[in-house]
Structure 1
Amino acid sequence: MMQPRTAIFDLDGTLVDSARDLMGTLNFILAREGLPALPVERAQSLLGAGARALLERGFAECGQTVEPARMDVLYRDFLDYYGEHLADETVAFDGVEEALQTLKSRGWLLGICTNKVTEHSVRLIEALKLTPYFSAICGRDAFAWFKPDPRHLTLSIEAAGGDPTHAVMVGDSKTDIDTALRAGLPSVCVDFGYTDIPATQLGATHVISHFDQLISAIDAITGLTAQPALSK
């Protein structure tokens, strides 16, 4: 029996445009600390490595260095506030659901590997009504390792019921593509996500500009042509 193929997706900047809610939470913390708000346009260079990194980068943008113990407190406060606002303005990128439907109809296993905490990831996917597509949602706290450690990716594949030798990573940042490279997996990079390094320079197997290009990119990676949908 042929091993099912698996597609593992990053979340923020790949499946969903969450910049306004994440930057809104960062600005809530900055304002509380007496610092100016940062424009949402800064998301491209600030997001992509998880909430703690976002906080550290945000304070650095304001010329502030925060001691680790204080950052621990700010990080917990960030998670608490964000948990109440994670789906205020966040939306799935155009074409996401159609691409997920196509992959599922072909028998692919789908999962999420993100540096967002698992609870928030699950709740966000539920709010966007995308839960039925995914066999596993694995945040930075799901295992002892998180991206760019390749074990976060390979364990996410296994959690989805897949085999890392038959898998593809889809992401938007250096963190995602480095993780795939370290795991020895092919990758697709979207060029509309959160990175200040051009997607074409990250080393992905393929780069796409819209989710309507994902299936052809994955077909090229797997050496497959379009397949008929599975009968129900």
Structure 2
Amino acid sequence: MRTVIFDLDGTLADTSADLIAAANSCFRDLGYGVVLDPVADARTAFRGGKAMLRLGFSRVLAGYNDADVDAQYQPFIDAYAESIDVHTRLYDGAAEAIDGLRTAGYAVGICTNKPESLADRLLVSLGVRDMFGSMIGAKTVGVSKPDPKPYIAAVEEAGGTLSQSYLVGDTETDRATARAAGVSCALVTFGPDGEGVKSLEPEALLHSYAFLSQVTAELIG
């Protein structure tokens, strides 16, 4: 079965503000106040919790190390879980476009580096969890993107065929994952990196979800 696998943060949904808020809660508890900006630092938010913590610590703690970051990772996860959908929204047209793929006979799934339980909770909250035939999160299969194993697992769980699949993402991690799995990649241009994703040389660019059907036909028929 032809299959389309989606990244979550920065691809299906703009989660940056809630991620930044969770990281800032850690810094407030440490006495540093609000360190990260939900707009200016959105690009870092889509690169994971530890990336945000590193950025914040680089601004307030000279000589910080991995132990400082690691100590705040679970508090970050806990804060994010409590307020996972305050500002988060699906990108315009995403739900309709994905429903169109399903109606046309494609399998669809999720491959994200967000912990699976949080990704599942968020999609339920957004009302779209039932659309996806697979949900593979960080360490679901023991490793995370850009290792190809999570992507391959997402295709298989959705009932698809690897050679007839492709990945929709937004960062260099997604580009590298697709390359490692030997499949095509479409990168969205409506995330923080904008048209800058062209430099990653994906097989396709997705300028809005209005073009998802067209891009899918071009990549896997």
TM-score surpassing 0.5? yes
CA distance in 2, matches of 1:56, 1:158: 35
Shift in Å, 1:33: 1.9
User: Match of 2:166, SS?
Assistant: strand
Shift of the 162–63 alpha-carbon distance from structure 1 to 2, 3 Å rule, reads same
CA distance in 2, matches of 1:59, 1:162: 42
CA distance in 2, matches of 1:130, 1:91: 11
In structure 1, which of residues 121, 124, 130 is the aligned counterpart of residue 122 of structure 2?
124
Shift of the 166–143 alpha-carbon distance from structure 1 to 2, 3 Å rule, reads same
For residues 163-221 of structure 1, the C-alpha deviation after alignment (integer angstroms, 9 at most, x for no partner) is: 21111100011111111111111011101124488111112111122110111111111
CA distance in 2, matches of 1:133, 1:207: 23
Give structure 2 stretches of 5+ with no counterpart: none
CA distance in 1, matches of 2:59, 2:193: 16
Who is 1:171 aligned against? 169
CA distance in 1, matches of 2:25, 2:195: 27
Shift of the 159–62 alpha-carbon distance from structure 1 to 2, 3 Å rule, reads farther
RMSD, matched Cα:
1.7
> Higher mean Cα deviation, 33-42 or 83-92?
33-42
Q: Give 1 or 2: higher helix fraction.
A: 2
**Amino acid in structure 2 at the alignment position of 1:80:** D
Shift in Å, 1:63: 5.1
Who is 2:157 aligned against? 159
Whether the 8 Å CA contact 1:109–1:161 is kept in 2: the answer is yes
Give 1:63-142 correspondences, 5 Å limit: 64-142=62-140
Shift of the 28–163 alpha-carbon distance from structure 1 to 2, 3 Å rule, reads same
User: Match of 1:139, SS?
Assistant: strand
What is the aligned length?
A: 220
Who is 2:54 aligned against? 56
**Amino acid in structure 2 at the alignment position of 1:138:** I
**2:203 is the alignment partner of 1:183:** no
CA distance in 2, matches of 1:129, 1:200: 31
Shift of the 193–183 alpha-carbon distance from structure 1 to 2, 3 Å rule, reads same
Shift of the 190–31 alpha-carbon distance from structure 1 to 2, 3 Å rule, reads same
CA distance in 2, matches of 1:77, 1:67: 17
CA distance in 1, matches of 2:142, 2:108: 22
Q: Which portions of structure 1, spanning 4 or more consecutive aligned residues, are displaced by more than 6 angstroms? A: none
Who is 2:19 aligned against? 22
Shift of the 57–159 alpha-carbon distance from structure 1 to 2, 3 Å rule, reads farther
CA distance in 1, matches of 2:107, 2:10: 21
User: Match of 2:40, SS?
Assistant: helix
Shift in Å, 1:98: 1.0
User: Match of 1:112, SS?
Assistant: strand
Shift in Å, 1:133: 0.7
Identical residues among aligned pairs (%): 31
TM-score by length of 2: 0.93
Shift of the 63–46 alpha-carbon distance from structure 1 to 2, 3 Å rule, reads farther
